[in-house]
Amino acid sequence: MNTGPGHPRFGSRRIRSLAIAGTVGVAVGATALLGGFRPQLYSVTPDAPGDQLSELVTTQIVGIRTFERPEGVTVVEDIEYGTQPDGAVLTLDVCSPTVAVPEGGMQAEPPLAVAAPTATPSDGPAPDAAAEPETPEEGLEDETLPEEATQVAPLRPAVISIHGGSWARGDKGNSDWRAVCTWLASEGFVAYSVNYRLVPDAVFPAALDDVALAVEWARDAANAQTYGIDPDRIGVFGGSAGGNLAALLGARGSGSLTEGARVAAVAELSAPLDLSYHALVTGGASAGLQKIALDFADCLTLSDCARARAASPASTLDSSDPPVFLGTSTEEYIPLAQATGYAAALKRKGIDHELVTVPGTLHSIGILDATMRTRVSAFLHAALGE
């Protein structure tokens, strides 16, 4: 999200060709679509360098910028996690804790087991399958594999990391959100930093559908095995607009937190959590924030905007939803009432939550300093397990 008035409008109005000839009639176009015609594929990576900047617009070394990436974290970039019907190709980065492997060396993506090497076939004749196996007395020692050679690597909890930027800009790989990804990995999580469709190319619920798909992709058995995660322990972290999407993920669906796109923990910073007319207009939110919400919901006015209400996670909360961490500064661009109001809604539903406020005007990952990192990490470990 914007951190204050006077900030340049986020996101250029990009025009992408769908490779559909202008002379094709409506009936022919409908037939093509029904026949499986798909628009031209396109990346959701922002076009302009400015659109890739994080929502932390200050040049100060604050928040997540105080984190120094340690040894022992590996980043794999631009892994495709899905393609949407409009042709959007979605990618994520994976930040993994490096795991020690017996017999020396480090490995970024831990296998579920470290197996002993197989024997190389000899040039001699194949052994007789019916022959009695040799005994130790006949010259072969009865070897037992060292325990560490067959030890199963522990499965790690995972966290989906969602960047901010008014739902209209930002990128998973900008320096601030790369630091978030590597910080989460340094805490023992496998972090998936995701890109999603942005305004104006796509409006709500497109971005939510994208991050939900990322959860499903991470939970898929093959993908979970590849990155050594426990598919039953997936949480989500987001800041600003990404915090809104994180909260929406937590409130989407009901019941088990280990299936589909359900997550077991939500942590967000400086999220706009209520986009309704009452919260933003009657509540005195800035004109800039109101305009950003209107663009995301694709409405002309908030007084009659069903999508704005649907993009407010309190509208779908139920008692089966996961615990939530809320962090915000007291005088920032997002009104403090957004966090306190959501905390009250969580309390009414009996959902465990933690609200942390800090003085000042810093926004989103601008408040993710060492103290806040400790609070968020402790919350995620408590909710997801070690």
- Is residue 147 one of the residues assigned to a domain? no
Of 9 and 141, the structure prediction assigns the larger pLDDT to 141
CA gap 365, 329 in Å, rounded: 11
- What integer best gives the mean pLDDT of the chain? 83
* Average pLDDT rounded to a whole number, residues 224-248: 98
Question: What percentage of the chain carries pLDDT values higher than 90?
Answer: 74
* Average pLDDT rounded to a whole number, residues 140-150: 46
Model confidence pTM above 0.75: yes
- Is residue 304 one of the residues assigned to a domain? yes
- Is residue 167 one of the residues assigned to a domain? yes
Please tell me the predicted confidence (pLDDT) of residue 174. Answer: 97
Q: How confident is the model at residue 161 (pLDDT cuts 50, 70, 90)?
A: very high
Is the pLDDT confidence value at 14 over 80? no
Q: Which domain holds residue 183?
A: 58-100+153-384
Q: How confident is the model at residue 377 (pLDDT cuts 50, 70, 90)?
A: very high
Instruction: Say which CATH number the domain at 281 has.
Output: 3.40.50.1820
- Is residue 45 one of the residues assigned to a domain? no
Q: How confident is the model at residue 7 (pLDDT cuts 50, 70, 90)?
A: very low
Please tell me the predicted confidence (pLDDT) of residue 107. Answer: 39
Is the pLDDT confidence value at 382 over 80? yes
* Average pLDDT rounded to a whole number, residues 358-370: 98
For residue 221, what are its two tokens?
A: 């058995």
> Cis (ω within 30 of 0) for the bond into 200?
yes
- Is residue 16 one of the residues assigned to a domain? no
Of 90 and 22, the structure prediction assigns the larger pLDDT to 90
CA gap 297, 155 in Å, rounded: 38
- Is residue 246 one of the residues assigned to a domain? yes
> Contacts for 36-43 with beta carbons within 8 Å, 24 or more apart?
38/85, 38/87, 39/86, 39/87, 40/16, 40/87, 41/83, 41/87, 41/88, 41/89, 42/16, 42/87, 42/88, 42/89, 43/88, 43/89, 43/91
| pLDDT one-digit tens code per residue, 266-297 | 999 999 999 999 999 999 999 999 999 999 99
CA gap 36, 23 in Å, rounded: 20
Please tell me the predicted confidence (pLDDT) of residue 151. Answer: 58
Q: How confident is the model at residue 23 (pLDDT cuts 50, 70, 90)?
A: very low
CB 67, CB 373: distance < 8 Å: yes
Of 327 and 38, the structure prediction assigns the larger pLDDT to 327
Of 137 and 331, the structure prediction assigns the larger pLDDT to 331
- Is residue 158 one of the residues assigned to a domain? yes
Of 20-34, 173-187, 316-330, which range is least confident?
Answer: 20-34
CA gap 126, 200 in Å, rounded: 67
CB atoms within 10 A of CB 254: 13
| pLDDT one-digit tens code per residue, 56-111 | 999 999 999 999 999 999 999 999 999 999 999 999 999 999 864 333 333 344 43
CA angle 286, 309, 55 (to 5 degrees): 45
Count of domains for the chain: 1
- Is residue 131 one of the residues assigned to a domain? no
* Average pLDDT rounded to a whole number, residues 368-379: 98
